């Protein structure tokens, strides 16, 4: 059973398009995250939800909008895609307690052409 | 504010040789420390974590790390590396008051046959 699953794994799209990435976790965790990994492998937090409530909203363009329909799902919608959005996007989840680790999905490699 | 520094961006090492990957952190509050491994085209997988207690923690695949509070370090070690250890390694911290994980910039370990 996959603990944190993301779809799609690969996404190639043209500039200006709108796309979504879906994430689901079956661990019963309360907290979910979106991270962006750039070409230099640097991981940057984008958003975090706890029980469907937004708790971290880092400085990202407002073209990026997270949505959490329930605590097991956290989707990422991106409007008007730009070349600089090309990256690997990781979803992660955590029990919410500070002394616990995060579990990561396999990543979605987004390529904007 | 918290920060994580991984001084070595690339570490080449011969097979069966020992390796140490360095991690230093900065925080004004207590932290929990983690090492993750990322194999090519995969998500991040937890190697080990320090939460409290013994400062020497053992993880999967023969890795261990030592928490040194006075030096604010959490270096990762393995006495004898294998080809399959070739991957990207990330150090991460989480404070006892915050919601997010702060990642270092990663160390690319290449094991040479």
Question: How many inter-chain contacts (A to B, CB under 8 Å) are there?
Answer: 55
For B77-92, write each residue's pLDDT tens digit: 999 999 999 999 999 9
Q: How many CA atoms lie within 13 A of A21 on its CB side?
A: 30
3-state secondary structure B23-60: CEEECCCCEEEEEEEECCCCCEEEEEEECCCCCEEECH
Distance between CA atoms of B100 and A56, rounded to whole angstroms? Answer: 8
**Residues 6 or more apart in contact with residue B24 via CB below 8 angstroms:** B4, B5, B7, B71, B72, B73, B74
Write out residues in chain B with pLDDT < 50, as ranges.
none
Q: How far apart are CA A97 and CA A101, in angstroms?
A: 9
**Is the peptide bond preceding residue B17 cis, with omega within 30 degrees of 0?**
no
Phi-psi region of A26 (alpha: psi -120 to 50; beta: other; left: phi over 0): alpha
Amino acid A56: pLDDT = 84
Q: Give the pLDDT score at A55.
A: 87
What residue of A is the nearest CA neighbor of B34? A101
Residues of A in contact with B108 (CB under 8 A): 41
Q: Tokens 């294998």 sit at which residue?
A: B82
pLDDT of residue B60: 95
The per-type count for chain B, helices as H runs and strands as E runs, is 0, 12
pLDDT, position B100:
83
Instruction: Count CA atoms closer than 13 A to B39's CA, side-chain side.
Output: 8
Question: How many Å lie between the alpha carbon of B94 and the closest alpha carbon of chain A?
Answer: 7
Read off the pLDDT of residues A27-72 as tens digits, 9 standing for 90 and up: 999 999 999 999 989 999 999 998 888 888 888 899 999 999 999 9
Give me chain A's average pLDDT, please: 93
Quickly tell me which residue has 């991270």 as its tokens: A35
Please classify residue A15 by burial: count the beta carbons closer than 10 Å to its beta carbon, then call 0-12 exposed, 13-18 middle and 19+ buried: exposed
Segments of chain A assigned E as strands: 4-7, 10-13, 19-25, 31-37, 43-50, 53-57, 64-70, 73-78, 87-94, 103-104, 108-112
Residues of A with CB under 8 A from a CB of B: 4, 31, 33, 40-43, 45, 48, 50, 55-56, 90, 92, 98-99, 101-107, 109
What is d(CA A42, CA B76) in angstroms, rounded to the nearest whole number?
A: 19
What φ, ψ does residue A83 adopt, rounded to 5°?
-55, -40
Length of chain A: 113
- A18 burial via Cβ count (<10 Å: 0-12, 13-18, 19+): exposed
**Residue A1: its pLDDT value, please?**
65
Task: Calculate ∠ Cα B89-B92-B94, nearest 5°.
Answer: 165
């Amino acid at each position: 059973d996959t603990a944190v699953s993301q779809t799609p794994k690969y996404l190639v799209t043209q500039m200006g398009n709108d796309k979504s990435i879906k994430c689901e976790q079956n661990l019963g965790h309360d907290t979910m995250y979106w991270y962006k990994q750039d070409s230099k492998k640097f991981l940057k937090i984008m958003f975090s939800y706890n029980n469907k409530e937004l708790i971290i909203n880092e400085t990202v363009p407002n073209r990026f909008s997270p949505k959490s329909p329930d605590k097991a799902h956290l989707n990422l919608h991106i409007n008007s895609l730009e070349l600089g959005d090309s990256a690997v996007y990781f979803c992660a989840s955590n029990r919410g307690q500070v002394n616990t680790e995060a579990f990561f999905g396999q990543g979605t490699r987004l390529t904007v052409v | 504010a918290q920060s994580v520094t991984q001084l070595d961006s690339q570490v080449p090492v011969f097979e069966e040789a020992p390796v140490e990957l360095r991690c230093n952190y900065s925080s004004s509050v207590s932290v929990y420390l983690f090492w993750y491994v990322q194999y090519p085209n995969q998500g991040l997988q937890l190697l080990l974590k320090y939460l409290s207690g013994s400062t020497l923690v053992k993880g999967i695949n023969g890795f261990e790390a030592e928490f040194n509070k006075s030096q604010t370090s959490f270096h990762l070690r393995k006495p004898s590396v294998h080809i399959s250890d070739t991957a990207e390694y990330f150090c991460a911290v989480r404070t006892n008051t915050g919601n997010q994980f702060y990642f270092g910039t990663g160390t690319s370990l290449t094991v040479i046959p």
